[in-house]
Chains A and B, each alone.
Chain A
Amino acid sequence: MAEIIQMMALSPTMNEGTIAQWLVTEEQDFKSGTALCEVETDKATMTYEAPLSGRLLKILVTAGSSAAVGQAIAVAGKAGEDWKSAMGSDTSQPLETNPASTQAALPELGAVQPARAPEAPPPAETSSTARLPSGKAPASPLARKLARDTGIDLRGLRGSGPGGRIITRDVQAANQAPSAAPSLPKAQPSKTGTAPANAQLRGDSQPVSRMRSIIAQRLSESYRDAPHYIVRCVIDMERLLGFRNTLNIGRGEKISLNAFVLKLAAKALEAHPVLNSSWQGSSIQYKPSADIGLAVAVEGGLIAPVVRHCEQKGILQIGHELSDLVDRARQGSLQPDEYGDASFTISNLGMSGVEEFSAIINPPGVAILALGAIQDEAVVRDKQICIRPILHATLSADHRAVDGASAAAFIIELKKLVEEPALALL
């Protein structure tokens, strides 16, 4: 009876092959081991040797076509046989190949599922055993176990082990002197005066909010995928502060310093467009406008409203838009198009008093500028020590798109503009 000839895996990883050419023609006899055809596999062109002897009755997959492993490519049999007789019994089907990797697509940031009504929280544990915070106090496992078993709160103990590790003898000592060893059920007075709401969080676990999870996802992705590096510079703010004071004289709504920085950054981005781009894997997309986001801390997270087309707008307009966006960000009433797709981002923690910090790039941008507090510092000008208001600026950039030289050129450009705002007029 005529027999189906199936495509075979000619390399261990082959799931499909293309017939490069048939070496035996229809109605030609061949012997087992004869080269029937050549098959292009995923690795090489391999010879397909006949697994049996007979006559090639019918070629089902012609040269240039491909067939999955297991698929019928020809029919062989004896002279005069009807090739179709084999087809009735054709149970040959392409072998199942590995399913294409079904990597779950990450949800788009703007399109998070609407928040479901929160499910009733599980009843709080009422176990009488002390629940220990998973906190940082280093303690040996045995000390923790002992504390659990005896109801000792490790937070009240001072560890005598290396690095302050609480070890068994510390817990035992606490047990022997109960008055000195605060046990958990008693509320601990807050030493630092933290708000009671925060104090209540100790030792609890809290479900993550939607905003928190988006932040977590976006920033993890950014930090993981974009090779971050930072460049720093120190900026003398004297002229810009003076300039701002002058402009604000008699003005009801003061122009914020951020508005100036956005404007000057837009100017610097014009000169260094790669900082105003987006990494697309196989291409770098240069953005048509400087759409600058400003990170704003809001309850439970942060958001970066975007002032579009900063390069075209004046400082007054930028300042006006910024103050509106920031207000609405804090109210939680921003529309998605008001915070998405920043081409560049600025994060200013100056109000919090930190001198400097570095930030994680806000996708799809390739750089973020982190600004610390403006503080008077002793600096050298014309070989004289003098006191100037100094800003520490830190630029994080994505090395896939931006090389160090470009980042440095940009931040120095910005420094020049801030130190001599009149240059922006050129």
Chain B
Amino acid sequence: MKKNDADQLWQIRASMVLMRIFEEKTGQMYGLKKIGGFCHLYNGQEAIAAGFAAILDYSKDYVLTGYRDHGHALAAGLEAKTIMAELFGKVSGCSRGKGGSMHLFDAAKHFLGGNGIVGAQIPVATGVAFAQKYRKTGGITVVFFGDGAIHQGAFHEALNLARIWNLPVIFVCENNQWGMGTSWKRVSAVDDFSLMAAAYGIRGEPVDGMNILKVKEAAERAANEARAGNPVLIEARTYRYKGHSMSDPQKYRTREEIDEYKKQDPILILDDYLKEQAIWDDSKAASQEVSATAITAQAVEFAEQSAAPAIHTLYEDIYAGEPFFMKPCLSNEARSD
């Protein structure tokens, strides 16, 4: 293996380890009530975000995803501390404390957010791709969504539009097999989501979402096609270790099922590969964990120490320019007149 390739795999591993440790800390902080609301963890699905991030050109490409967005935000290069601060609802968060766990954004990094309505990001992403094509930027848009979203009309409408206008977009279904508490098999007419692409004349491809190498290969193939104006649908079969959200008692599946999947943990699979390729290094691996733990700890500290947004900021970020509001909602203090 070339040194460059080996370096990239180690970088990918670092990214996945950071996602994993960041989410573990997030779960802990949620349990300690530092984080509120709906909070969906990415544990188990890291290979998908990492695999695509490895092949995207963030100077011109865009990423959109659903509400399970912490891992994708890290993969897109958002700093752990601005994410954690957002989860804490602090003004230093990547969305100024307005978005929270489900709505991480970074316009400069071309990460167009966590979207809270199942499947709603799919037409939006298709529109971003429309603008890329219109402006001939050469960029592509990758939109991630879950197995729950694939039955929404938004998905089907968007695929049709992407095909008829030949838009540079990759639709990635992260099939973690549980739409909240419902097994995907119970609510799907087909047991291979990649087949759905055929209805819209685009290529569909199933991929083992636990295997970073396979995800990366599939992503590369898809990106090349998308850049040429051929949208692609990828179904990345994966598994989420945690509940749908933090308040999910997970009575719908067994601990054994989860443990079985943990044997195919995406980080373990990558580690095995590195060992096969004889580029494994115990101390390097350990240092990645130490580093990720430190980054996460610093993120928590940053979030803890950051200021809460001032109340008056609730009137900000709603309109461009001069804000206006229907008056009865304004307190006397906030009224400018």
Contact = CB atoms under 8 A, between A and B. Distances in A.
Chains A and B touch each other in the complex, with CB atoms below 8 Å apart: yes
Interface of A: 6-12, 32-33, 35, 43-47, 49, 51-52, 69-70, 95
Contacts of B242: 49
A341 to B, nearest CB: 48
Contacts of B27: 8, 49, 51
A10 B242 CA distance: 12
Given A32-B24, A47-B250, A51-B24, A9 B255 contact: no
The 6 closest A-B pairs by CB, nearest first: A8-B31, A51-B28, A44-B249, A11-B247, A12-B247, A9-B31
30 contacts: A6-B31, A8-B27, A8-B30, A8-B31, A8-B32, A9-B30, A9-B31, A9-B32, A9-B33, A10-B31, A10-B247, A11-B249, A12-B246, A32-B20, A32-B24, A33-B24, A33-B43, A33-B262, A35-B255, A43-B249, A44-B251, A45-B249, A46-B249, A49-B27, A51-B25, A51-B27, A51-B28, A69-B31, A69-B33, A95-B33
B58 interface: no
A35 B242 CA distance: 11
A33 B241 contact: yes
Interface string B193-231: 000000000000000000000000000000000000000
B99 interface: no
B36 interface: yes
Chain B CB within 10 A, most for which of A8, A44, A47, A95: A8
Contacts of A35: 255
B24 A52 contact: yes
Interface string B1-40: 0000000000000000000100011011011110010000
A95 B43 CA distance: 27
B254 to A, nearest CB: 11
Chain B CB within 10 A, most for which of A6, A45, A46: A46
Interface of B: 20, 24-25, 27-28, 30-33, 36, 43, 241-242, 246-247, 249-251, 255, 262
A407 B241 CA distance: 63
Nearest to B37: A12
Nearest to B262: A33
Contacts of B251: 44
Contacts of B33: 9, 69-70, 95
B180 to A, nearest CB: 16
Given A8-B32, A51-B27, 4 more contacts: A12-B36, A32-B20, A44-B249, A51-B28
Contacts of B246: 12
Contacts of A46: 249
A168 B33 CA distance: 60
Contacts of A12: 36, 246-247
Contacts of B43: 33
Nearest to B31: A8
Contacts of B255: 35, 47
Contacts of B25: 51
A6 B251 CA distance: 24
Contacts of A95: 32-33
A238 B28 CA distance: 83
Nearest to B27: A51
Contact of B32 (A45, A49, A69): A69
Contacts of A10: 31, 247
Nearest to B25: A51
Nearest to B36: A12
Contacts of B247: 10-12
B110 to A, nearest CB: 31
A9 B33 CA distance: 7
A70 B28 CA distance: 10
Contacts of B30: 8-9
A99 to B, nearest CB: 15
B135 to A, nearest CB: 44
B333 to A, nearest CB: 26
B32 to A, nearest CB: 6
Contacts of B28: 8, 51
Nearest to B38: A12
A12 B30 CA distance: 9
A421 to B, nearest CB: 65
Nearest to A51: B28
B31 to A, nearest CB: 2
Contacts of A9: 30-33
Contacts of A49: 27, 242
A50 B106 CA distance: 31
A223 B242 CA distance: 52
Chain B CB within 10 A, most for which of A10, A33, A95: A33
Nearest to A44: B249
A371 B262 CA distance: 80
B244 to A, nearest CB: 13
A8 B242 CA distance: 15
A338 to B, nearest CB: 52
Contacts of B20: 32
A70 B246 CA distance: 16
Nearest to B28: A51
Nearest to B241: A33
Nearest to A23: B255
Contacts of A7: 31
B267 to A, nearest CB: 11
A11 B243 CA distance: 12
A102 B253 CA distance: 42
A49 B249 CA distance: 12
